[in-house]
Chain A
Amino acid sequence: MAKLILLCLKVVVLCGTVEAVFEDQVGKFDWRQQYVGKVRFSHFDTHVQSSKKVLLATESNVFAAVNTRTGDILWRHVDKTGPEGNIDAFIHHGQDAVLVVGNGRLLRSWDANIGGLNWEVVLDTGSYQSACLIGQQDNVKHVAVLKKTVISLHYLFNGHQKWIENLPDSDTVDYQTVYSSGNGEVYAMGVVPHSHIAIVAYSAEDGEIIKQITVEAPWLSNIKSSCAVIGKGMLICVDVATVSLYMLDLHGESQMTQILLQSLGLEVSPGFHPVLISTQPNPARQPLSEFFLQLGPEHYPLLQLNNGQIVTLRDFNPAMQVSFATTGEKTVAAVMLPKNKTVSLCKSYRERVHLYISMLFACSINLYSAETGRRLLDTTVTFNLDPNGGKPVKLYVQAFLKKDDAVGYRAMVQTEDYTLTFLQQPGRVMWTREEALSDVVTMEMVDLPLTGTQAELEGEFGKKADGLMSMVLKRLSSQLILLQAWIAHAWKMFYDARQPRGQVKNEVTIENLSRDEFNLQKMMVMVTASGKLFGIDSKTGNILWKRYLDNAPSNAVFKLMVQRTTAHFPHPPQCTLLIKDKNTGLATLHVFNPIFGKKSHITPPALPQPILQSLLLPLMDQDYAKVLLLVDDQYKVSAFPSTKNVLQQLQEMASSIFFYLVDSSQGRLSGYRLRTDLSTEQIWEVVIPTEAQKIVSVKGKRPNEHVHSQGRVMGDRSVLYKYLNPNLLALVTESTDLHQERSFVGIILIDGVTGRIIHEAIQRKARGPVHNMLLVHCGFIKCTKSRRNEFSVIELYEGMELYNSTVFSSLDRPHAPQVLQQSYIFPSSISTLEATLTEKGITSRHLLIGLPSGGILSLPKMFLDPRRPEIISEQKNLIPYAPELPIRTEWFINYNQTVSRVRGIYTAPSGLESTCLVVAYGLDIYQTRVYPSKQFDVLKDDYDYMLISSVLLALFFATMISKRLAEVKLLNRAWR
């Protein structure tokens, strides 16, 4: 009996998992990379000498520990997005890492070793100001949190509140920092802008106010940005207006003493607000009496406070970054100095001689004794800054004592492009983490060239050849080069085959990039929010090239377009990135080669006017680059490339080039037509009043989307033809009235050429967020309705007859299509929505749904068919209707490889019709392949070639023999 049940179970399990990945396929076709985001706070785990951890708290609300040897994430905690999970402060003490989260909402303590949560307490409401550790007699037992109106003290080991006190005069005084030097007193420091400083000293024991000081300071507006406590409780503030330092003894005086910077021989760079950089190595002791005073972008003098006098120990000018580090009793200052800029001539790989003059910015980090300002011997680390990266913005130093009591250190450098570089003496780069990839904005997948050598031939074939003879020669030489490359490839294969197995390296580098048989390996071009571009090999996930665009504004929106693919061999592939400033609308173009990341020699046009719309036409110039049209705010059109050939083609095509603009603030959709003189005229307009509803999303068809079958076969063998309008736009509106009963979500299907509204529907009692997606003949929207998530599917059909089966023209479709619509309940919320895409559109399509849980669900479109019948009918290919869509575990294409905070899914067709490449990006990046209709065009790995060939051969011989025998028999019969 038990055996039978087990057998049944096995059968069920085996049948159930056929769609999922087999265990031995894990990691074979897919990879995942995890990121943490832009680092805000970082501390080295120095609790144990041998610790190999650096703790990072990031702007993406992630708290993580990274292995300092390898750069891998040891553990990671991803909090809520937005201000709710914002990490305000990170205090590290021993084994505990204390975080203040969500504008002072929560106080959390993590175990730095294993990443477990020690405790979490909810703090009183109020906006967070500052936090610090409180020590007494060399023991740190408490943490103080200063808020707008209250100050509270918590035990470090369990988070319980020791005391909480209201701050005096908190309605007028703006309390900003809290300080303690380990003598049992806690100072809360506040300022009344342009009037005075208020300092309240509390007893750490019971919260009793020991004393209250107010000091006149009419020049001060912000304590946090311009003051610091130095040495034995001396508050030092810097004032730009009078170019001087002000000192105040917290223990005694009630008057600030002014020291002119000039008297110290220091000068402030014009327009720069000086910053004080101090350090308190042990929270139970006083801060160091040495500090840096940053006077300019690259000017850091090291000062010392000595008996009320300020002495300059050493002047670092220019210095790129400074940082203090403490080990044991020693505190050192690490200074990053720029080295001489070396101009080096780089010879490009292979024989082709390309000379590049590249500027390599070398930097060196040195340690200086904090007390004396003397340079420590043998502490120089020299390293080269990545010429395609940004400038260093922060330096984190971990110092340690070597066996001979000398100070050794490791350094982590953070650059503008969010990259973390970990350095070890003497100048070895241990690892780099490209944290910019935690915020991918848009991406494209580009086919790889046939071989790297061919792509390098661009220089020779860039010239125009017009004569017949030269054309022939050009063709012949290119064929010769192909032959040469092939022979080289064959030789290499032969050579490799003779080598023992283990020695053959299959490392992918930019040189040996080449397309595989089925075009499954592609170049992923990723654009990140920081303005850094990446080229990633889709097979392995290796970063092959990167480029930081330092001219990209911080609030830029990006649009990436592939102008020329790899298919036009002598011409290099070309991608164009449109970088648009969100506020001004001014845009720039960055033209580059997507395979190598090199900036193209083509100079993009200058765009003096704000850009409203950009469109990539299927039209090509003589160099096979697709024409990019840019519409500016004067409704003038400029083309890129704008050669004579292009302009002539545009003039011919002008009457059939239409485009639309959406102004969601006014609810206005307008259609324009191109004129022969490249001006435009408005031809239609639809206005959706903004009082009732606002446009939230507009989606059109993807240009490389195909639909193979024109119709669907019904149960009675008749054909229902699809309405295949490539110009269709799906517009989703949301009601402005958010009341549950009156709110609605509207969907409008519009023809983008004629402005004809094809369908208009509303989903009552529904609310956003709405995810909208348009396939060629059906659209999907997802909305929230009375606390559940719903899918709404609209499919358009022409009916039983086609109007014009040969050609589709939006101008000639008088009949409105039949609309079928159905809604389904989806049992989870949704982060993003995309559909699989294949080469010819024969494979059935699946919907890829990114769930907030980190799973990526591949939902067959069949389940979303609006024609799913209520009762089981003769239409065999339809599943009977059920209002709720199932989520089956085997539909998760990323099995246990959770993708945190999925923001987008990108799909690209491969050379195999059955296979679609999928990249999901968010905080993590995940790449895999999906087979929506199984691998119908690929033989299985364990296919028995021997059997089939022996059967074939046997049959062949059998036929030959029987033929011979038949002939003999016939002859014999004829003789008879």
Chain B
Amino acid sequence: ALPLHILSTLASNNRKLKSGFCFCHQVGDAMDTEFSGFSVPLEHSFEVDDLAMFRARGALVMKAGREPSVSLAQNQLSEEDRTKLKEVAAVDGLYRIRVPRVFLQADRQPERHMESYITAFVRACAMVESHLSDVITLHTDVSGYLIGISIVTMPGACRGTEVEDEVDLEVFNTTLSVMVPVNAPGPETALFLERLEQESEKKGKNPQEQKSFFAKYWMYIVPLVLFLMMSGAQDQSGGGAGGGAANGGGR
């Protein structure tokens, strides 16, 4: 179970956008009632001179409940932004996003670190060439606290293809996923022991295999050893005889 929840949201609802937009200025209570949850702004920045100027892109909405979930509500790019994005892409600038550091569960917001953000970036040209199709992953720690955000586009490369149609750059096609830490597997001792037991049981079933090397092949070994001993004894007696013969030959 790698990602907790994958909630892909296509957002073009103006009402949502407005409320999300408001949110970054005032920590709204209105939002809480509407979504019975909590929402934080997702901001982006793309400037020709690469100085970060974050503006609202949408809002992350966290729903409380037994199965907490996160969804993304975001607006369209305005005409002005579209041309700017293309300009930034032309000078190989960066497209950055950021979110404040919060808990990803609506019901657990002890203090709001609105002033502290986590940021990520992607090349602006990749954003343009993928027609605003991006994958945003939110990474949390064990307690559900947001520690990192990452953004990649699909496809990821900049090939220098011109995007003629302005409409392609209007709507974000975002896949949002949340990644929580995986529990690393421990050494599987239990399974291993079970397997060992199974093997020993198997051996126990057919006692033929359980026999040791000597038990199995004693009928070959004993004659061999006997033969060796016999031949060794013969050698000793025969050695003297042989020596005598050699002496005789030398004369």
Contact = CB atoms under 8 A, between A and B. Distances in A.
Nearest to A793: B184
B48 interface: no
Contacts of A3: 228
24 contacts: A681-B50, A681-B52, A682-B119, A686-B147, A687-B101, A687-B116, A689-B101, A692-B142, A754-B150, A755-B120, A756-B137, A757-B139, A760-B179, A761-B184, A762-B181, A812-B157, A812-B158, A813-B156, A814-B152, A814-B153, A823-B184, A881-B188, A882-B192, A883-B187
Nearest to B179: A760
Nearest to B138: A757
Contacts of A761: 181-184
B87 interface: no
Contacts of A685: 117-119
B126 A812 contact: yes
Contact of B141 (A681, A693, A884): A693
A261 interface: no
B47 to A, nearest CB: 11
B24 interface: no
A824 B179 CA distance: 25
A892 interface: no
Interface in A509-562: none
A254 interface: no
Contacts, number: 130
B115 to A, nearest CB: 12
Contacts of A760: 139, 179-182
Interface in B145-163: 145, 147-148, 150, 152-158
Contacts of B120: 684, 754-756
**Pairs A-B, 8 closest by C-beta atoms:** A883-B187, A814-B156, A756-B150, A686-B148, A812-B156, A814-B152, A761-B184, A760-B181
B216 interface: no
A655 B187 contact: no
A687 B116 CA distance: 9
B230 interface: no
A497 interface: no
Contacts of B181: 746, 760-762
B184 A762 contact: yes
Nearest to B193: A883
Given A689-B141, A762-B142, A812-B157, A684 B119 contact: yes
Given A760-B179, A785-B186, 13 more contacts: A1-B221, A681-B50, A683-B96, A687-B101, A688-B147, A693-B141, A755-B120, A755-B150, A763-B186, A792-B184, A804-B157, A814-B154, A870-B188
Contacts of B119: 682-685, 755
Given A681-B50, A756-B152, A757-B139, A790 B187 contact: yes
B195 interface: yes
A185 B122 CA distance: 82
Given A681-B50, A687-B118, A882-B192, A811 B139 contact: no
Contact of A884 (B121, B123, B182, B187): B187
Contact of A811 (B126, B143, B184): B126
The contact size tier of chain B is 35 or more
Contacts of B152: 756, 813-814
B118 A823 contact: no
Contacts of B150: 754-757
A821 interface: yes
B156 A811 contact: yes
A744 interface: yes
Contact of B121 (A692, A754, A824, A882): A754
A822 interface: yes
A825 interface: yes
Contacts of B188: 870, 881, 883
B92 interface: yes
B219 interface: no
A821 B185 contact: yes
Interface string A738-760: 00000010110010001111011
B225 interface: yes
A285 B122 CA distance: 83
Contacts of A870: 188, 191, 195
A792 B187 CA distance: 9
A683 B50 CA distance: 10
B236 interface: no
A683 B93 CA distance: 11
A757 B155 contact: no
Contacts of B77: none
Count chain B CB atoms within 10 A of each CB in A673, A686, A813 and give the residue with the most: A686
Nearest to B229: A1
Contacts of A13: none
A4 interface: yes
A764 interface: yes
B189 interface: yes
Contacts of A687: 101, 116, 118, 147-148
Contacts of A819: 182
Contacts of B116: 687
Given A785-B186, A811-B156, A1 B139 contact: no
Nearest to B214: A1
Given A754-B121, A814-B155, A881-B192, A764 B147 contact: no
Nearest to B51: A681
Interface string A904-947: 00000000000000000000000000000000000000000000
A692 B141 CA distance: 9
B198 to A, nearest CB: 10
Interface in A808-841: 811-814, 819, 821-825
B60 interface: no
Interface in B197-231: 221, 225, 228
A751 to B, nearest CB: 8
Contacts of B143: 692
Contact of A683 (B94, B153, B228): B94
Contacts of B156: 811-814
B11 interface: no
A52 to B, nearest CB: 53
A4 B189 CA distance: 38
B135 interface: yes
Interface string A664-684: 000000000101000001111
A684 B117 contact: no
A106 to B, nearest CB: 38
B187 A692 contact: no
Interface in B111-132: 116-123, 126
Contacts of A684: 119-121
Contacts of B192: 881-883
Nearest to B123: A811
A749 to B, nearest CB: 11
Nearest to B186: A823
Contacts of B94: 673, 683
B145 A764 contact: no
Nearest to A655: B92
A756 B152 CA distance: 9
B141 A688 contact: yes
A760 B139 CA distance: 8
B135 A814 contact: yes
Contacts of A790: 186-187
A284 to B, nearest CB: 63
Count chain A CB atoms within 10 A of each CB in B141, B152, B191 and give the residue with the most: B141
Nearest to B187: A883
Interface in A229-275: none
Interface string B78-100: 00000000000000101010000
Contact of B145 (A689, A747, A814, A824): A689
Nearest to B92: A655
Contacts of B179: 757, 760
A688 B150 CA distance: 15
Contacts of B52: 681
Interface in A787-801: 790, 792
Interface string A181-217: 0000000000000000000000000000000000000
